[in-house]
Structure 1
């Protein structure tokens, strides 16, 4: 049974979210401040985090930074702020999705479920597809690890899914719409900069292998074997 960590300091919202996830069969661990969230994350095997930004003790930005140092667990950030720069900062820090208050708990549940299911599919690759190696980039699916020229690279859940999907379809142009539906499972409501930010972060982490992810103007993205 997947375990969800919900970090929310507004008690009513916390209880509403908790009920939604419990009723759908998930286990729920809850925290009302950032420091408690980090302690619980170390204590339990968490499958997904729902993280409010405005928290006492330690804000959501700081919690996200700390978690991303050691884990690629799927993470959805919640905020009452509507500044697009805040949204992009969340993605740059490693958030996989971003939801602005007020929101529908049912929609949030659907987004969380999508992230958990996409991770589960990757973790259950068949024995003949444990690894994918192209030009010095090595994906090991069971451990969700990335090795680039013999050096381990830490990717977020979403960055891993984007890279894996592009490499599995090397040489094929993947439209932005295809990529969004594959990764998020719905027509993302944010502007185009959301996907751009994930691609930019991924390229930065790939270093000199970044040019293998090419932008095809007015078409999408393509992973190319040779440069």
Structure 2
């Protein structure tokens, strides 16, 4: 136990896994730097289509689409996540689907966000190519992950006990990884910490930043794989 917080020892995507996000559902996400950065850089406009890839409990999709008339959809492969999201935010759309083969036509979305998800996936390159496919040319994508060698992530492991990651990145590795699929526009080290006591949380938000976020676009020269299968998913 660190700072009085219980250790969850997370190893599978069951109800206990999503229990850690109960606190975040009752937190103003504008107070968390990573979420503020995502919302500001995504710059959603009325009428746009937004995909939250790996939407979990649905709170990020709720936060991003709040106050903007967008067509947002959250996708997750875990039944408990879809159940929590649908019951928590019944006016939003959530679909159970595999990120390796999304049920949308090519060029369907104006914007895509995938935060703290890619590190859980074995076939990361396959998922990135699928993001290429479903994003419009010129469309924005924001990807974010924990920084593998950060003090913040080490403390999170000691506190929460996260064992569902299959491939983690340093900040430089992640920027390089994303640049292999999209045109980089901006990146930032930020903080998504929300469980630590208020007395300590500002240290993480301003000094021990444990997230790396990347804003990128799909330009007209990026190849789109699986185009032959896109018509089957329309």
Do they fold alike, i.e. is TM over 0.5? no
More helix as a share of residues: 1
Structure with the larger RCO, 1 or 2 (CA within 8 Å, 6+ apart): 2
TM-score by length of 1: 0.37
